[in-house]
Amino acid sequence: MTQQNLLLGQTFETRGNPFETPWQDAISINSAGAVLIENGHIRAVGDAETLRKKHPLAQMHDYGPHLICPGFVDAHVHYPQTAIIASWGKQLIDWLNTYTFPEETRFSDPEYAREIAARYLDLALGHGTTTMCSYATIHSESVDAFFHAAQDRKLRTVAGKTCMDRNAPEGLRDTAQSAYDDSKRLLNRWHGKARAQYAITPRFSPTSTPDQLAALGALWSEHPDCLMQTHLSEQLPEIEWVRGLFPQARDYLDTYEHHGLLGPMGVYGHAIHLTQREIDRLAETGAALVHCPTSNSFIGSGLMDVMGLAKRGIPLGLATDTGGGSSFSMLRTMAAAYEIAQLRGVALHPAQLMWLATAGSARSLHLQDNIGNLAPRFEADLTILDLASTPAIAQRSQRATDIWEALFPTIMMGDDRAIADVWIAGRKHMPK
């Protein structure tokens, strides 16, 4: 008989989207819940008493008052920027030129790529993130390094070679043809292999010629089951730049659409300064947007209208945007999402924040049937949250009158100390 693991604790269960239905109907927390895991998948979720009686031979893991959640899903990161996170004093374009591009140049060395891929994944896991959708660099070896490191850790991941053929330094440019060829080779090597998914990855319109955008649009049309990830309308000077580079385009989104880079499998990071036409077109297409709140304040980009976009039915994910973002933690990222919504006059409920970091991000990556939910048949990637991980959090959470009030201090003040355990594909992760 195969080994069964039974995890006992408070369980975070998702039944719907708390932006579309009242959060009380969408999410429930069972204070005496249990999750039964078998063969890397969740087999049952229910009451602790019932599942214990039904599965007496399962190995028990009693997490007491801890919250058993789906593993966090970080829908937009740049793993190669791990070592330059928290770099001072620049806004987007200067930040790219001063810190990011010189660092990404170092990834021509496969040994360095392997070192940073391992470092990034271990940091992310330590913060309770079990799936991430990452940009690599222009170097194919940086994609291999990431997927090999993810495979070693049995993680479900998405990544792609970042393509740039202009406005980037020597050593960090490919061409339209080599971007197509390299991306195609990597896609054939990795897409669907074990838990890896390939994402076609033009960095953003300013660093791709129209020829390169068209070549990647053609590749996407040959592989419509792949995600396509890029950046959209992050900062005002960037949008002005795009206007100058693409004078014929109606707006920023149109620079992608015109080259075959808009579709339901498209995932667009930031999307802060959108026009009404862009919002309407995104809603029509079914493309996903990814909110990167720590990055948007750190780089000085602006306040995304999460509630307005959610109300339009646009799929939304949540992300650290490491290393433009200032944290590896999806808890810290939820806190920043809360703060940014407050600055727009909206209080996001903890159920909505947690949904964005799990099922919402999973849906933005079209992985909503695999991860992001504690339910039978889902892959068993779990994060166990200690809701009293520091004295400051513990004293506030102790005062709480319900579970949401008990969870909120961890969302606002929590970090890697709140991660009691992580399970990957049905196995407890042992930190290296």
Site for ligand GUN, rule CB under 6 A: 78, 92, 96, 100, 203-204, 231, 234, 295, 299, 321, 324
Partner that binds at residue 203, options Zn ion, ligand GUN, none, CB closer than 5 to 8 Å by kind: ligand GUN
Residue 209 φ/ψ, nearest 5 degrees = -70, 160
Q: Nearer Cβ to ligand GUN, position 30 or 235? A: 235
Partner that binds at residue 127, options ligand GUN, Zn ion, none, CB closer than 5 to 8 Å by kind: none
Q: Which two tokens stand for residue 232?
A: 């959209």
Partner that binds at residue 160, options ligand GUN, Zn ion, none, CB closer than 5 to 8 Å by kind: none
What does each C-alpha distance from 131 to 3, 173, 180, 350 come to in angstroms? 24, 28, 26, 21
Strand intervals (E) in 15-54: 27-38, 41-47
Q: Nearer Cβ to Zn ion, position 23 or 120? A: 120
Closest CA to 60 of 42, 77, 37: 37
9 bridge partner residues: 33
Instruction: Catalog residues that contact Zn ion under the rule CB under 5 A.
Output: 269, 321
Q: Nearer Cβ to ligand GUN, position 80 or 372? A: 80
Q: Nearer Cβ to ligand GUN, position 123 or 283? A: 123
Closest CA to 354 of 387, 309, 378: 387
Q: Nearer Cβ to ligand GUN, position 295 or 364? A: 295
> Which positions ≥6 away from 329 have C-beta within 8 Å?
127, 128, 320, 414, 415, 416
Partner that binds at residue 100, options Zn ion, ligand GUN, none, CB closer than 5 to 8 Å by kind: ligand GUN
User: Least distance from C-beta 179 to Zn ion, angstroms?
Assistant: 18
User: Least distance from C-beta 370 to ligand GUN, angstroms?
Assistant: 27
Q: Which residue number places its CB atom closest to ligand GUN? A: 324
Q: Nearer Cβ to ligand GUN, position 290 or 306? A: 290
Strands 72-78 and 59-70: unpaired
SS (H, E, C) 198-256: EEEEECCHHHCCHHHHHHHHHHHHHCCCCEEEEEECCCHHHHHHHHHHCCCCCCHHHHH
Strand intervals (E) in 58-153: 59-70, 72-78, 129-135
User: Least distance from C-beta 108 to ligand GUN, angstroms?
Assistant: 17
User: Least distance from C-beta 232 to ligand GUN, angstroms?
Assistant: 9
Partner that binds at residue 9, options ligand GUN, Zn ion, none, CB closer than 5 to 8 Å by kind: none
User: Least distance from C-beta 271 to ligand GUN, angstroms?
Assistant: 12
